Amino acid sequence: MHDQFSRFTILGAGLVLALSISATHLRAESTPPGQQGQACGSPSSIDDGWEIASPDNVGMDGAQLCTIAARLTQRSTAVHSIVVVRHGKLVFEQYFPGYDQPWGQPDGQYKFNATTKHDMRSASKSVTSLLVGIAIDRKLIAGVDEPVLKFFPDYAAVKQPGWDAITLRHLLTMSSGFKWDEARDWTDPKNDEPHLLTEPDPLGYVLSRPIAAPPDTLWAYSGGSTELLGNIVERASKTSLEAFAREVLFQPLGITDVEWKNYKNGKLAAAAGLRLRPRDAAKIGQLVLNRGQWNGQQIVSADWIAQSITPRFQAVGYFGGTLFYGYQWWMGRSLAGGREINWVAAFGWGGQRIFIVPELDFVMMTTASQYGQPKEGLAAVDILTNIVIPSVRDAH
């Protein structure tokens, strides 16, 4: 599951800073403009729709949150941002310079702040799932049990035996059963994922895959499934996925600085191409936490959120630990203070994470450049489990 579509080789990710740099200096480097002299991690006011509060005012230990930078330095993690939201209020943000591989830009050293967009990579899949839900809410799609091939009559010639049984629900849960393997090295000819980049007609490539197992019997991570979902939304809404997303999701959330990148073949990358500010990505998490509401407006139905974050399959072989999969959303747990805390998450290659913790009413978002690293994303789980969850003081 690499989703590094802009490359054919994985370049080693650099460290955020040399180990000799102190945590104090790291915090100074990462302080956004206008934030000098403020408390560590105090969010900037940039008129993006977030109400800002101090951690102490929402039942969190601000001093404990301020140990994040030192812990990241100790572990030499290539993390670029940490954003924390509690009780619907933005309470903490820190940004760190470092190496990155931004889509469509040169690899190299970058500085990040509250207004810097970052690749979301496969966290884009979770956003695409929300768009499917909105299309269903608006009666543009009848439901998740609609046959996939109903939306692709122009591809009848490439249909393989068994595809008639595949529905949108199977695409959403990665249980379609069509043959797909993207766990291999990017340069491996048996890796299906690069075909989304290189094929003149990537949809035709996906739809021509042979069936390896009946639907609902085999979970296999598949960017091809998400590409089909994105195109289904386009065909049902009669507009581009990006335009639909702007109208029904981003604008209601007050997200104005957004990109959704295309593959080199010109096709929108529904599975991996989204670029957002971390604070805006945290809005996606808050939307899920609020059961589809933002500022009192129901953007996506509460039922769709509930269905999306219901565990459907165990995600065997991905990211370690016990993870479950819903409608393009991950579910897991952390052990903190002797308690198991359940969470929902969007995962993107390289360490992009949106964690939603319903029982503690907070969202944590991270961006990073841990591309191709064996422990990719574990820094975010470490910060979540050992700092942010324990910082909550009013939990019961």
pLDDT in tens, 8-25: 333 333 323 232 333 333
Rounded Cα–Cα distance for residues 301 and 291 (Å): 7
Q: Residue with structure tokens 């360490």?
A: 351
For 78-89, the pLDDT digits (tens) are: 999 999 999 999
> What number is the average pLDDT over the span 223-234?
98
Give the per-residue pLDDT at 11.
32
* Region of poorest pLDDT, from 37-51, 85-99, 135-149: 37-51
Residue 115: other Cβ atoms inside 10 A: 13
Give pLDDT, residue 308.
Answer: 98
pTM listed for this prediction: 0.90
* Complete DSSP assignment for 130-166: HHHHHHHHTTSS--TTSBGGGG-GGGGGGPPTTGGG-
Name residue 147's beta-bridge partners: 167
Instruction: Tell me which residue of 121, 238, 234, 216 sits closest to 171, measured CA to CA.
Output: 216
Section 193-213 average pLDDT: 95
Residue with tokens 């080199």, as numbered in its chain = 264
The residue ranges of DSSP E strands in the chain, in sequence order, are 79-86, 89-95, 98-100, 108-110, 118-119, 259-260, 274-276, 293-294, 297-298, 313-314, 324-325, 330-336, 339-348, 352-357, 362-368
Residues in CB range of 163: below 8 A, 6 or more apart: 148, 149, 178, 207, 211
Q: Which two tokens stand for residue 66?
A: 């301020």
Q: How far is CA 1 from the centre of its chain?
A: 13
Domains, the chain, with CATH or none: 23-116+278-288+299-391 (3.40.710)
CA 90, 91, 96 angle in degrees (round to 5)?
95
Q: In this structure, what are the phi and psi dihedrals at residue 375, rounded to the nearest 5 degrees?
A: -110, 35
Listed in sequence order, the residues at least 6 apart from 154 whose beta carbon sits closer than 8 Å to its beta carbon are none
| CA atoms of 26 and 80, how far apart (whole Å) | 11
C-alpha–C-alpha distance, residues 304 and 236, integer Å: 18
| pLDDT band (50, 70, 90) for residue 387 | very high
Tokens of 61: 């230990």
Q: Which pLDDT band, with edges at 50, 70 and 90, does 286 fall under?
A: very high
Mean pLDDT of 201-206: 96
% of the chain with per-residue pLDDT over 70: 89
> Of 241, 257, 262, nearest to 104 (Cα)?
262
